Each structure stands twice: as C-alpha cells, then as structure tokens.
Amino acid sequence: MAAAGTLLVTGASGGIGRAVAARFLDAGWNVALLARRAEALQALAEGRPGALALPCDVTREAEVEAAFAAALERFGRLDVLFNNAGIFPPSGPIDELELADWQRAVDVNLTGMFLAARAAFRIMRRQSPRGGRIINNGSISAHAPRPGSVGYTATKHAVTGLTRTLALDGRPFDIACGQIDIGNALTDMAEKMTRGVPQADGSVRVEPVMDVAAVVDAVETMARMPAGANVLFLTVMATGMPFVGRG
C-alpha cells in the first residue's frame, strides 16, 4: 500500500519531534528522522518500515545536505518538513550570556532551520508533482519573551521572519510555509514549568502545561491541509499559562 506521504522531522530523537514522527509513522507516512542522537533515532525506527533514521547535526551544512539526499533517494519525494530542532540556551540578563551560548542558539535555532528549509525547498521546487509544505517550530517566545531569554527569544523572532519569507518565496513553486508557536507542552524541556519558573514580576511560579499530543494534533492539521490552503501561524498553548498578558 502506498504511503500517505513523506515527512522529514528535525529534532526527531525526543520531545515534540519524536511525538510527531511517531504519530505520522502510525498513520502510514514515510518519515525521515533527523537528530544527533543516533541510538534514539534507531529505537524509534525499529520495526517501522516507513522510518529512516538519519543521524545529523542541523548546524552542519554537509550533514544536512547528505541527510536530505538520503531521504530523497529512499522515498522519492518530500511532502512535508517539520523544521523542529531547537535549544534553550542558559537564562539570564544579556550581560551574563556568554558569546558561545548565544552563538550556539543562533546556530541551532536559526541557521539549522535555514539549512533544513533550504534543502527542503530545493527538493520541493524540483520534484514532480511540484510543491510541498514547510512547518517551522517557532514558540510563543516568537511573540513575547520570558525573563532572561534573549538568546532563545531573538532566534525565535527570527524564525518568524524566515516563515514569512518562505511563505512568499514558495508561492511560485507551490510550496507552503507555516509556523506553529507552542507554549508549555510537557516535554523534558518544559518539565521545569511544573516546579516553578521566573515571571516578569520577579516571582517564581508553577505554570500549567499541556499534553504533547495536543501539539501533535495541531502539526497534523497543518500538514494535512489541501495544497491550496495554508495555516500561516498557529498558536497552541496550555490554557492557563501566562502568555496573554505576559509582562
């Protein structure tokens, strides 16, 4: 039976990326799995004929290009990129952020997304039938910062610019681009929310979280839109978290 489509997920070894990849594999998609942790990718791919584990550092151009080429060789086309890999650098005021930590955030959260989007765009522009969909994982920090989050927030604001530009530049080639902005999905990265995190008023408070399945539902909705429609921006967040009115 033919696959429902082909998806490539960056940051597929854990958290949201892994959950999205698993859902699409269960739904009969071919899924290329990109992340640095090879063992975690192999564990996810084991026993799933539609999965392709591709250990890859998204900050390294040659590795990204090789991974996308391998996915294309295996599956023949690329329908959707979930551009998901990201990190949260150390928190604190800007004068306490080391240049190396800033650069790492830029390398992963922005340059990594650029490299993956560029590789996907190149394939989608030239394949037949032409076109595809790129879904960038932004953050509610693409709209409003948390205290002490200059590295993360600045890169996620930049992702919004990437999304808007790809949505425009992709039009002649039937390539849609949208962005999902996620708040407090319960993954390893967000577990600290359940123990208390700094607020804009200087307090430390526990924040509500949501099941990661709600995020997967939203990504699936975006990915399954018909070719003539696009979700440009979608925000999915824990209902009671301090985003509306933050600060």
The closest of 31, 9, 15, 194 to 83, measured between CA atoms, is 9
Active site annotation includes 152: yes
From edge to edge, which strands make up the β-sheet containing 30-35?
Answer: 51-55, 30-35, 6-10, 80-83, 132-137, 175-183, 233-237
**Annotated catalytic residue: which of 24, 29, 82, 152?**
152
Token look-up 């765009």 returns 121
* Token pair recorded at residue 23: 């859902």
For residues 31 and 188, give the distance between their C-alpha atoms in angstroms, rounded to a whole number: 23
Which sequence positions are flagged as catalytic?
A: 152
